[in-house]
Structure 1
Amino acid sequence: MGEAREVMDRFTEAVTHGDLAAISGLLAEDAVALTPDGGEMTGRDTIVEYWRSMTTSIPDATFTYRNRFEIGDTAIDEGIYTGKNTGPIPLPDGETLPATGRTVNIRGIDLAQVRDGRIRSYRLYFDQTEFLDQLGLLPEG
């Protein structure tokens, strides 16, 4: 196992346990992240804040691996993020929605490029429509 795989595994563990200090420690100060719901984020503090909102919304999350890869300085995970929405859901305009109490099972892929023991670039891909539908936030039809 190389550095990228080891750092990514620790990052996934920190995310699923809501360990914001560990998440922060694994990110480079000038890290860049891209997610479907957060867009492009620059800087450790901004990325940690994104994960704060996710771990507040779904505090009991687990991640079940389907595939795990490491290619050079990049680790890639495919899996299912599962948890119950028991906390407020932040909206892009700064408002929040109350918890739905629903469980989500979201398929996704994330990639982390690692250098000197820190994540420099992080990308998360998941179907945002599927996520909102599982929360019951899309219109019926």
Structure 2
Amino acid sequence: MGEARDVMDRLTEAVTHGDLTTVAELYAEDAVAFTPDEGELHGRDAIVEYRRTMTEAIPDATFTPLQQYEADDTAIDEGVFSGVNTGPIPLPDGETLPATGRKISIRGTDLATVKDGRITSYRLYFDQMLFLDQLGLLPQD
């Protein structure tokens, strides 16, 4: 196992346990993250804040890996993020969605590029429509 794989595994553990101190330690101060729901985030503080909102919205989260890879300085995970929405979800317009109490199970992929033991670039991909549907936020036919 190389450095990138080790850092990604530690990140996954920290995120699913709500350990934002460790999340912050794993990112370079000038890291950049690309997310499907918040777009491009610049800097450790913005990335940790993004993670905070998800750990508060789904505090019992688990991640079940389906595929894990490492190529040079980049670790790649495909897996299922699951939990129950028991906390508020901040919306892009500044409003807050109250907890729905609904279960979610979202398949996604994330990639972390690591240099000197810290993530410098992070990319997350998941199906936002499935997430919204599982929360009961899409119109039902």
Aligned residue pairs, count: 141
Asked whether 1:117 is paired with 2:117, we answer yes
Q: Structure 2: 5+ residue runs without aligned partners? A: none
Supply the AA of the counterpart residue of 1:7. V
Matches within 5 A, 1:37-116: 37-116=37-116
Listed as ranges, the gaps of 5+ residues in structure 1 are none
CA positional deviation for 1:91: 0.1
CA–CA distance in 2 between the matches of 1:119 and 1:12? 13
1:118 & 1:95 partners in 2: Cα distance? 33
What's the CA shift for 1:95?
A: 1.1
Structure 1 residue 112, shift from structure 2 partner? 0.1
- Partners of 1:5 and 1:136 lie apart in 2 by 35
1:94 Cα deviation (Å)? 1.5
Report the equivalent of 1:138: 138
Residues 89-119 of structure 1 deviation map (CA, whole Å, 9 limit, x = unaligned)? 1101221010000000000000000000000
Q: Which amino acid aligns with 1:88?
A: P
How far is the alpha carbon of 1:19 from its aligned partner? 0.5
DSSP 3-state at the match of 1:94:
coil
Moved over 4 A (4+): none
Q: Secondary structure at the match of 2:106?
A: strand
Identity of aligned residues (%): 72
Cα offset, 1:85, TM superposition: 0.0
> Hey, what does 2:29 align to over in structure 1?
29
Shift of 1:67: 0.3
